[in-house]
Amino acid sequence: MERIGRIFKFMKEHGLECIAVKDTCTIRYLTGFTGDSSILYADDRIAVLITDGRYTEQARSQLKYCRVMEYKASHNSSIWEAVAELIGTHQKVGFDGNVFSYEEAKLLGSLLPENTEMISVDLRPLRLIKDERELEDLWQAFKIADGAFERLLREIKSGMTEKELAARLEYYMRSLGSEGVSFDTIVASGYRSALPHGAPTDKAIEVGDFVTFDFGALYNGYHSDTTRTIVMGMANSWHREVYTVVQEAQYRGIKAAKPGITGRELDAMIREYIESRGYGKYFTHGLGHGVGLEIHELPNINSRGDMVLEEGMVFSIEPGVYIQGNGGVRIEDTVVLTKEGARSLTGLKKTLTEIV
Residue 16 pLDDT: 98
CB atoms within 10 A of CB 74: 7
Residue 150 pLDDT: 98
Distances (CA, A) of 227 to 87, 203, 210, 282, 319: 46, 20, 13, 17, 10
Q: Are residues 6 and 153 in the same domain?
A: no
Last residue of a domain, one of 109, 127, 145: 127
Question: Which strands, in side-by-side order, build the sheet including 67-70?
Answer: 67-70, 47-51, 39-43, 18-21, 92-96, 117-121
Q: Are residues 188 and 325 in the same domain?
A: yes
Q: Are residues 10 and 87 in the same domain?
A: yes
- Do residues 123 and 131 make contact, with C-beta atoms less than 8 angstroms apart? no
- Do residues 244 and 274 make contact, with C-beta atoms less than 8 angstroms apart? no
CATH code of the domain covering residue 99: 3.40.350.10
Q: What is the pTM of this model?
A: 0.95
Phi, psi (degrees; rounded to nearest 5) at 204:
-85, 140
Q: Are residues 188 and 239 in the same domain?
A: yes
What span, in angstroms and rounded, lies between the C-alpha atoms of 37 and 76?
A: 18
Phi, psi (degrees; rounded to nearest 5) at 325:
90, -20
- Do residues 157 and 164 make contact, with C-beta atoms less than 8 angstroms apart? no
Q: Which domain holds residue 68?
A: 2-127
- In this prediction, the residues of the chain whose per-residue pLDDT falls under 50 are none
Residue 72 pLDDT: 82
Q: Are residues 170 and 106 in the same domain?
A: no
Q: Are residues 78 and 164 in the same domain?
A: no
Q: Please report the beta strands in 13-54, taking only residues with DSSP state E, as ranges in sequence order.
A: 18-21, 39-43, 47-51
What span, in angstroms and rounded, lies between the C-alpha atoms of 168 and 105?
A: 43
Nearest to residue 317, comparing CAs of 341, 339, 344, 293?
A: 344
CATH code of the domain covering residue 263: 3.90.230.10
The total domain count for the chain is: 2
Last residue of a domain, one of 71, 106, 127: 127
Residue 73 pLDDT: 73
Q: Are residues 140 and 267 in the same domain?
A: yes
Q: Are residues 149 and 85 in the same domain?
A: no
Q: Are residues 228 and 334 in the same domain?
A: yes
- Are β-strands 333-338 and 341-344 bridged in parallel, bridged antiparallel, or unpaired? antiparallel
Q: Are residues 11 and 113 in the same domain?
A: yes
Q: Are residues 123 and 141 in the same domain?
A: no
Q: Are residues 145 and 283 in the same domain?
A: yes
Last residue of a domain, one of 72, 101, 127: 127
